[in-house]
Homo-oligomer: A and B are copies of this chain.
Amino acid sequence: MMDWSFATAAAVLLALGPERLPAQPPDDASPASSNVPGARSPSIHRDGRVTFTLRAPDANALQVAGGDGLGKGPFPMTKGVDGTWSVTIPGPVPGFHYYWFVLDGVSVNDPGSETYFGYGRETSGIEIPEPGADFYEVKNVAHGEVREQWYFSRTTQQRRRALVYTPPGYDKYVSRRYPVLVLQHGLGEDETGWTRQGKAQFILDNLVAAGKTQPMIVVMDRGYASMPGTPQFALAADSRLRDLHLAFGTFADVVVRDLIPTIDASYRTIADRGHRALAGLSMGGMQALFIASHHLGEFAYIASFSGPPVYGTDPDERLDTSLQGEFDPKRAYDGLFSDPAKFNQRIKLLWLGAGTEEKELHARIRAVADTLRRSGVPVVFFESPGTAHEWQTWRRDLFDLAPRLFR
Q: In the docked arrangement, what's the CA distance between A232 and B38, Å?
A: 8
A80 an interface residue at 8 Å Cβ cutoff? no
- From B106, B114, B234, B317, give the contact of A59 (CB < 8 A): B106
Name the interface residues of A162-208: CB closer than 8 Å to any CB of B: 171, 174, 186-188, 195, 201
| Known contacts A145-B147, A364-B3: A59-B14 contact under CB 8 Å | no
- The interface-forming segment of A126-134, A148-156, A248-256, A334-342 is A148-156
| Known contacts A1-B309, A1-B311: A56-B106 contact under CB 8 Å | yes
Q: In the docked arrangement, what's the CA distance between A130 and B255, Å?
A: 34
> Are A119 and B9 in contact (CB-based, < 8 A)?
yes
Q: Which residues of B contact A323 (CB under 8 A)?
A: 1-3
Q: Which residues of B contact A376 (CB under 8 A)?
A: none
> Are A104 and B107 in contact (CB-based, < 8 A)?
no
A329 an interface residue at 8 Å Cβ cutoff? no
> Are B58 and A58 in contact (CB-based, < 8 A)?
no
> Are B13 and A68 in contact (CB-based, < 8 A)?
no
Q: Which residues of B contact A259 (CB under 8 A)?
A: none
Per-position 1/0 for A63-100, Cβ under 8 A of B: 00001100000000000000000000000000000000
A122 an interface residue at 8 Å Cβ cutoff? yes
> Are B6 and A361 in contact (CB-based, < 8 A)?
yes
Q: In the docked arrangement, what's the CA distance between A282 and B12, Å?
A: 15
A54 an interface residue at 8 Å Cβ cutoff? yes
A7 an interface residue at 8 Å Cβ cutoff? yes
> Are B106 and A19 in contact (CB-based, < 8 A)?
yes
Minimum CB–CB distance from A38 to chain B (whole Å) comes to 6
- From B2, B57, B106, B187, give the contact of A6 (CB < 8 A): B187
When all copies of this chain in the complex are counted, the total is: 2
> What is the size category of the interface that chain A forms with chain B?
35 or more
A229 an interface residue at 8 Å Cβ cutoff? no
Q: Which residues of B contact A224 (CB under 8 A)?
A: 37
A296 an interface residue at 8 Å Cβ cutoff? no
> Are B358 and A1 in contact (CB-based, < 8 A)?
no
A210 an interface residue at 8 Å Cβ cutoff? no
Q: In the docked arrangement, what's the CA distance between A119 and B119, Å?
A: 25
Minimum CB–CB distance from A222 to chain B (whole Å) comes to 9
Q: In the docked arrangement, what's the CA distance between A55 and B104, Å?
A: 11
Q: In the docked arrangement, what's the CA distance between A323 and B5, Å?
A: 12
Q: Which residues of B contact A8 (CB under 8 A)?
A: 68, 389
- List 27 A–B pairs whose Cβ atoms lie within 8 Å, in order of A's numbering: A1-B310, A1-B312, A1-B317, A3-B361, A3-B364, A4-B359, A4-B361, A5-B358, A6-B282, A6-B361, A9-B187, A9-B188, A9-B389, A14-B235, A16-B107, A37-B232, A38-B232, A56-B106, A58-B60, A59-B104, A59-B105, A59-B106, A60-B60, A106-B108, A109-B122, A147-B148, A174-B174
